[in-house]
Structure 1
Amino acid sequence: MPHLYVHPNRVYIQFTSPSQAALEALGPVQIGHRKASGVAQSVIDSSVAYGTQLGGALGDWIEADGYGEARYKGFIPPVGPDKWVPTGFSDTDKTAPPVEPHFGDLRPLALTTADECAPPPPAPFSTSPGSAFYQQADAVYQTDLALTKEQRRVGEFWADAGGTATPAGHWLAIATQFLRPRNLAEAVSGYVLTSIGYQDAFIAIWQSKYQYNLIRPETYIRRHIDPTWKPSWPTPQFPEYVSGHSGLSGTSDRTFTAVFGHVGFTDSTKLRRGLEARTFSSFSHASDEAAISRVYGGIHYPMGTSEGLNLGHCVGNAVVSRIHLL
């Protein structure tokens, strides 16, 4: 069996200092285990040299994904009755910039292009009460008016007390529940497959968000249904279509099932936040709940969550079929 050591300084250059220190310590420890098991010093030396070379190539490839250019590139949001505006403010008090408007321009990992899993266009914009778009917004409004205690618990559970990084972080915490009792190789494989899915899902979701720049339910409802209405949770500062929670959860359904199988589980990752554990019959069950939670929170239209799930399933299927781990 070949022995490979990818030098952490060449690949993990963006980690925080504590993480960097842990990674730098991990390599020598693993090399020590190999030496203790009888691997010749010449094999170790050549493996470290090859790993350092490979790490350099990977680092160069990572740096060319377009993020450096996209991160600070300017963006002027388009204007129109159907277009996103900053939420949490009145229409005459717009102060929040959109989050990562060019993330959809990044190079994917498993997808061939950012729009390979693109959703269909949203319902045609209209303010007519009989229109499909109005009904989408009214569904959010009516759901909020009749929100049950259980629906509120669901919304709070998947909102994770706010923050737009929560869907990936929440699902990775679930992955840790499954991977903690396993060995390092299994943990690496599990985290790699799921994390590749998240990278490509975010790219695909953000490509859609900034293609359509669709108005959020909060803004539409306040303009056309009830000027006093506010959602149960703060609306993130980027366009609506499609839902990020839904897309990431749909991807998780596919990658988690590939890694862990068709199993039920109890998500106890939020106990320290004071939220009760929730039990699911499958990863699909959990992803469906995560998606609908965004309607409960008043953050997304039903079409944003359903098409977000579909996009996520497409991304997850692509990752599972194209990424092969030893």
Structure 2
Amino acid sequence: MRLIFTLQKAIYNITAILIVANSVLVYGSVGFISENPSSGAVIGATVATKWGEMTVRTMKHTPGGTPTYGSRSVGYMGLTMYESIVWGTPKKKSMVGQVSGLENLPVPNSLYKYNWILSLNAGQSYLLKQLYSQTSAINKASIDSLEKVIYQSEIGSTSQEIAERSVKFGQEIAKAIYEWSKTDGGFEGYKRNFDSTYQVPVGNGFWKAPKKGQSPVELPLHPYWGKNRTFAPANGVLPVPEIIPFDYHKDSPYYAQMYEVFAKRNTLTQEEKEIANWWGDDPSQTFSPPGHSYNLATITIKTAKPDLFTAAETYARVGMAVADAFINCWKCKYTYHAERPFLFIYYNLSRTWNLFWPEPPFPAFYSGHAGQAAAAASVLTDLYGGAFKFIDDSHVGRPKDEWRSVEYKARRFNSFWEAALESANSRLYGGIHTCQDNEVGLKEGKKIGQNINALSWRK
């Protein structure tokens, strides 16, 4: 069986390489990109989305992925994409001196010309392989293939001198950001996903590692992630929100929250089951919640067709917002160590109640799904408006969930906030979060996204 799986995975990745090659080559030579949203700029944005797709593909097919490390990765990938080309437009401003601890980056020589697509291309390839150095050789080959195909599609319209200068600049940006990333507290976090020394408080209302959860080990995931450096300085000083205190009495607000989860599980509609599955984003099976948000950035760019520079800004804002959302969420989770509904329901309501999904290996309050979805919705709304219609096809093609009788069908939304609310509600439908978890997550995520928006993006 292992050999069959390995062969299937190899075939998948080889196919991915061919798809990448075909999809980029069809556009031919892109050349220099201006700020104006011309046809050339749209093609440049397509190159950006190819790297967005490659990023989430790498996340999905690298074992041991977590939502925490994944959020960090998209934060740095998005920022690097933006910084590798920001000097190519007179309208946008670098994040140097604005995001936490980033005091300097390489600057292009104003006397020379650059091909910004080649800069972006080189930077994305370098950083993705550094952030996922643990990924398979086949995945690395896919990354190299995409970089080579884009390079070859550009070299016909660019002199060798400009090409070499552009590639070098993109790599220098990526290297500088990678070195800076080593000081944020989450460097190589995949090597220490679980902490056997961390002491979870014991008593009523406190979280306990699930016996049959998503993780094969009964330990907390990244308990110190909340201490990591945020991208937006303002997000690093947000206060921890208040929580409804534990109370097992039937007339208490706490009991009411838990009872709502219990009752909803027993009355799920087919539509609610489909929503639960769509936003499940189990890191062992998908590109995880931050990958889903990063993919929504790709979908947005494909739908709106902005220029290259706006596309890069979209990835930067979404990536950093999602990264900061997970830091703040984890700070909250390991401040309160709040139990998930299953334990309370088991001891106070029903010994036969069953979860829709296995439990995640970390405390409940507040919902990471809600927080990061709201952060992403906040930045995307600021960029593209409050009535932006799009189709989320992130999970189309996944096999039908036979046990729950759910197929993965594309979902349509009239706004980014509509999608964020659905993502939050999915956790109630799945039985692993209360409405309090979701509502606070949405509120905190909005603050986090607004702080990313408040950075000076325009000159």
Q: Aligned residue for 1:219?
A: 343
Structure 1 unaligned segments of length 5 or more: list them: none
SS of 2:412's partner is: strand
The amino acid across from 1:86 in the alignment is A
2:13 paired residue number: none
**1:258 and 1:189 mapped to 2: Cα distance?**
12
Task: Give the deviation of 1:242 after TM superposition.
Answer: 0.5
- The residue that corresponds to 1:259 in the other structure is 383
Gaps of 5+ in 2: 1-87, 89-109, 399-406
Q: Which residue matches 1:166?
A: 288
Taking a change above 3 Å as real, the CA distance of residues 62 and 30 of structure 1, as seen in their structure-2 partners, is farther
Q: Deviations over 1:114-134 (max 9, x none)?
A: 451x45221011111111111
Alignment of 1:80-95 (within 5 A): 80-89=203-212
RMSD: 3.0
Would the alpha carbon gap of residues 69 and 149 (structure 1) be closer, same or farther in structure 2, given more than 3 Å must change? closer
Partner of 2:272: 151
Aligned match for 1:282, one of 415, 418, 421: 415
What SS does the corresponding residue of 2:312 show, helix, strand or coil? helix
Say if 2:220 is the partner of 1:98.
yes
Structure 2: distance between partners of 1:30 and 1:321: 37
Distance 1:45 1:156 in 2: 46
Q: Deviations over 1:9-35 (max 9, x none)?
A: 764422441354146537855873673
Alignment map for 1:57-206 (pairs within 5 Å)? 57-68=176-187, 72=192, 74-89=197-212, 96-116=218-238, 118-160=239-281, 163=284, 166-180=288-302, 182=305, 184-206=308-330
Match of 2:352 among 228, 241, 248: 228
| Offset, 1:203 | 0.8
Q: Corresponding residue for 1:21?
A: 144
TM superposition score normalised by structure 1? 0.85
Distance 1:120 1:51, change over 3 A: closer
Distance 1:115 1:225 in 2: 39
SS at match of 1:279: strand
Work out which of the residue numbers 418, 421, 425 in structure 2 matches 1:292: 425
Q: CA deviation at 1:292?
A: 1.0
Of the structure 1 ranges 144-153 and 57-66, higher mean CA displacement relative to structure 2 is found in: 144-153
Distance in 2 (CA, whole Å) between partners of 1:35 and 1:167 is 39
From the superposition, tell whether residues 11 and 162 of structure 1 become closer, same or farther in structure 2 (CA, over 3 Å). Answer: closer
Shift of 1:57: 2.8
TM-score by length of 2: 0.62
Change over 3 Å in CA distance of 1:230–1:18 after alignment to 2: same
C-alpha separation in 1, matches of 2:232 and 2:301: 23
1:110·1:323 contact (CA, 8 Å) conserved in 2?
Answer: no
Counterpart residue type for residue 61 of structure 1: W
- Render the CA deviation track for 1:221-274: whole Å, top value 9, x for unaligned: 111111221121222111000001101111121111123322122223332124
In 2, the alpha carbon distance for the partners of 1:268 and 1:52 equals 32
- How far apart are the structure 2 equivalents of 1:19 and 1:114? 36
Which amino acid in structure 1 is aligned with residue 439 of structure 2? S
- Structure 2 SS opposite 1:221: helix
* Alignment check: 8 A CA contact 1:119 1:307 kept: no
- Output the amino acid matched with 2:392: D
Separation (CA, whole Å) in 2 of partners of 1:188 and 1:54? 14
Tell me the SS of whatever aligns to 1:97.
coil
